[in-house]
Amino acid sequence: MRAKIIRLAALFAALGCFLASPALAAADASVFVLGLRSIEGDDDFARNLTTTIREAADGIEGWEVSPNDISLTQMSLAHGCDEPDAICLSSIASDLGAQRLVYGSVRRTGAGDSFDFSLTLYLFNAETQQIEESLSETIPSGTTRIADLRPHAARFLAELSGQPQTGSVRILASQPGSTVRIDDDEATTDEQGVFVAPTVPVGRHRIEVEAEGYEVFRGSVTVSAGEEASLEAHLVEAGGGDAIGDAPPGAGPGEGGRPMPWLAIASYGAAAILFGLTAWSWSTIDGLDENADYHSYRLRVPTTRADVCAELDQGLAYGAPASEFAGAQDVCSRAGTLEVLQWVFLAGSVVSAGLGTYFLIDYLGEAEDDSSAPTLSRLRLAPSFSSNGGFLSATVDF
């Protein structure tokens, strides 16, 4: 009996909030966004997120969204639902006169101060009595203000409602009144050189900016749902270099031209030095064969024993004087060290040459007008080494 009284009181409270709203004219609304339920009691966050989700839902074409602030917890309690199932949700939708209900919950992803918010959101269709769509998303814990939550809510509702997901693009041109082309759509910047495209499909888009007497600027942006992508277009005068920073004829570093590719030059220089050291170690090892002590000792070793240094390591003198034996051991020790160093030098030379190529492609790629040219992120270098040699595998995606 007491539980029934509590449910009735909750129902009257929910209906009271609904009827007391100044937006009673929205009673024929087709969509109700019920207040999100916070599992750990982050009520302010849940309330702010509900507000932004309701705002975003109101922008969905064909949806008439009620502005009334009614929570899922209130309606579930009023209808005696421990967990909202299809029957309970249908009953709630019937009481509210809604065709669809947007509801969900938020919880923390971890304990203590180190956590984010996990959102689970559902779209219930009262006509089919089924959940049409659902999504699970993570929101950083520092994102709690309504202004910060709006882009997230717009993306959530676009996905939940099946609307095309879009973001915005902001172009800042160095010349006011410049012509801007985003793919095949054309517009003009304002007096400050700014143009904002509010609804651009998610993905990568070509950007061109031009003005009379200036070279065409070409670039690209990647648009994410509900977020703004920005690009600064610095135009240069025609004949004075291109729009991505090429030097005018005769210009050098420090004179308005592009800087030299110092990383590539330094890498190639290191590769040359290390290769020179590799060649030196090879020639030194060959020269050790002519050492007098080593040559005399080698003549004493039986022809059936091919590895002279192995004999020295075992202490087999074969009648050689102590000074000759020690000299031959020193030669083998130096040869062993140089054999290790030659592979280290060779590996360093290959890696340095690979890095030089890597930096040079990036440098040249920045100077290309064609935005489809290979970029730094599309080149993969994989050096490998063995006792038989060193190898460098390069893979370019285009």
Q: Smallest Cα–Cα separation from 244: which of 374, 366, 363?
A: 366
Are 352 and 270 contacting, i.e. CB atoms less than 8 angstroms apart?
yes
Helix axes 262-288, 322-366, angle to 10 degrees: 160
Mention the CATH class of domain 166-233: mainly beta
- Domain map (residue ranges) of the chain: 2-161, 166-233, 262-396
Q: What is the pTM of this model?
A: 0.44
**Which H/E stretch holds residue 48?**
helix 43-58
Residue 89, SS3 per DSSP: helix
In the sheet with 185-188, reading across from the earlier edge strand, the strands are 185-188, 179-182, 203-210, 217-223
CATH number, domain 2-161, options 2.40.10.10, 3.40.50.1220, 3.40.50.10070, 1.10.10.10: 3.40.50.10070
What do you get for the CA distance between the two ends of the chain, in Å? 72
Q: Tens digit of pLDDT per residue, the chain (398 long)? A: 444 444 444 444 444 444 444 333 333 468 999 999 998 889 999 999 999 999 988 888 889 998 888 888 888 888 888 777 888 888 888 888 899 999 999 999 888 778 899 999 999 999 998 998 999 999 998 888 998 888 888 888 888 888 777 788 999 999 999 999 999 899 999 999 999 988 888 888 999 999 999 999 999 998 887 788 999 999 998 875 545 444 343 444 443 445 677 888 888 899 899 888 888 888 887 777 778 877 777 777 776 556 778 777 777 777 788 888 888 888 888 888 888 888 898 888 888 888 888 888 877 765 554 444 444 444 555 555 444 555 555 555 54
The Cα 99–Cα 53 span in angstroms is 17
Strands 117-125 vs 130-139: parallel, antiparallel or unpaired: antiparallel
The Cα 70–Cα 101 span in angstroms is 11
The Cα 151–Cα 169 span in angstroms is 14
Are 101 and 121 contacting, i.e. CB atoms less than 8 angstroms apart?
no
